[in-house]
Structure 1
Amino acid sequence: MTRPFSVALLAAAALSLGGCATAVPPVEVTRFHNAVPGWAPGTRYAVATSPLDGPGAAMPSLEWNSYRAAVDQQLQRLGLVAAGANERAPLLVRVSFDRSEERGAARRSPVSVGVGGSTGSYGSGVGLGLGINLGGGPKAMADLQLAVRIDDSASGQALWEGRALTAVPVKAPAAQPSLAAAKLAEALFRDFPGESGRTISVP
């Protein structure tokens, strides 16, 4: 009787650990650009001190800094270099994030952006789904969005911009700012610059 009991106990422990694992939901990503950016390795960029207009346009916060740091990491992975405090940089990067929480289906607010006069519209694209709590009722979901725009500093023209969106249960580890920012930024810059105007789902 001891062995069957031990096997059952191990199985229960495995299920418990699986439930505790950090769920990483798919990220919906859309990018826009007029042409493939041809920045040479070592091109310097500066991050705007105030976030991009629109969602997350309030003054920078600790959470915004998490998203900025995640974007910085991805830009440097691409070979770009952050400019010093008093150094002029040919590229200006604007970062914005938005977090909204509600019970049931995640919010789907369209965001319109344009590069060089052509406008693309961010729609709902891939469905984000609905988390169901078997204990009763839908889970409270956090709708997380990261938007980045890269401008030519001299002319102010937008060269590249993109949006990454996902929805996670509010109490899930993946909803923590540091984890969410890293996941969204990695998805947004996956296969940079990406196909212009196309919405994809990044696992």
Structure 2
Amino acid sequence: MMKQSLAAAIIVIALAACATAVPPVEVTRFHTANPPMGGTVSIEEMIGNPDISLEFRTYAAAVAQELQRAGFSESAQGKGEYVALVGLRRSFRPTGPDRSGNPVSVGVGGSTGSFGSGLGVGIGINLSGKPKDVVTTELSVQLRRRGDSQAVWEGRALTSAKEGTPAAQPNMAAAKLAAALIGGYPGESGRTITVR
């Protein structure tokens, strides 16, 4: 019985360690009075998008998957009734003071009293290094009719996570941002919501 309880406790601890806390996503959407509820759509890069990379493709694929869940079917670039323009921005913000400038500190102390005197020296070493930056990722999507380039739906999703954490990795961030932005399509126009 004791062995089973111990084994169960180890499994629970292991699962808790594997669970990743995904930060909330701030989402804002705008759309016309009658946004399309389906049709063919091609996924293209937003003009002026600063991040042309393999990482961008990860986000574009996540957007395509969520649009399919919303009732659209993907078509080849340059084809389709609609075009989904996808933009991606990542920025890094430092957190807290840089503790790597003075990693060693020395303190000296002394005392005298009725039982004698003493002198002590203490050395402190900071091994924590520089704090991790916060990575902010913003995904923008604009859905336009191909025929007249009229925007019919657009939105922005924003999240932040500490650099190096699973939540800051492109695969996880892309899936989370795209699902938060397009989930519940078309969503309430002009309102900012937080998706957890």
Task: Give your verdict on TM over 0.5.
Answer: yes
Kindly provide the amino acid, as one letter, of the partner of residue 180 in structure 1: A
Aligned partner of 1:73 in structure 2 is: 65
Q: Is the 8 A contact 2:66 2:183 kept in 1?
A: no
CA distance in 1, matches of 2:68, 2:132: 37
Moved over 3 A (4+): 6-17, 135-139
Q: Which has the larger radius of gyration?
A: 2
Identity of aligned residues (%): 43
Q: Is the 8 A contact 2:139 2:157 kept in 1?
A: yes
Aligned partner of 2:82 in structure 1 is: 91
Q: How big is the shift at 1:59?
A: 6.1
Aligned partner of 1:161 in structure 2 is: 154
- Greater strand share, 1 or 2? 2
Structure 1 residue runs without a partner (length 5+): 106-134
Query: Which of these residues, 163, 172, 178, is aligned with residue 171 of structure 2?
Result: 178
Name the CA shift for 1:59/1:173 in 2 (closer, same or farther; >3 Å): closer
Query: Which of these residues, 47, 61, 77, is aligned with residue 43 of structure 2?
Result: 47
CA distance in 1, matches of 2:52, 2:151: 21
Alignment of 1:1-203 (within 5 A): 18-39=16-37, 43-48=39-44, 51-54=45-48, 57-58=49-50, 60-84=52-76, 88-104=79-95, 139-203=132-196
Q: How big is the shift at 1:137?
A: 7.9
Aligned residues: 165
Q: How big is the shift at 1:194?
A: 0.9
Q: Is the 8 A contact 2:86 2:139 kept in 1?
A: yes
Superposed CA RMSD: 2.8
Kindly provide the amino acid, as one letter, of the partner of residue 24 in structure 1: V
CA distance in 2, matches of 1:190, 1:16: 31
CA distance in 1, matches of 2:129, 2:67: 43
Structure 2 residue runs without a partner (length 5+): 97-127
Q: How big is the shift at 1:36?
A: 3.5
TM norm structure 1? 0.70
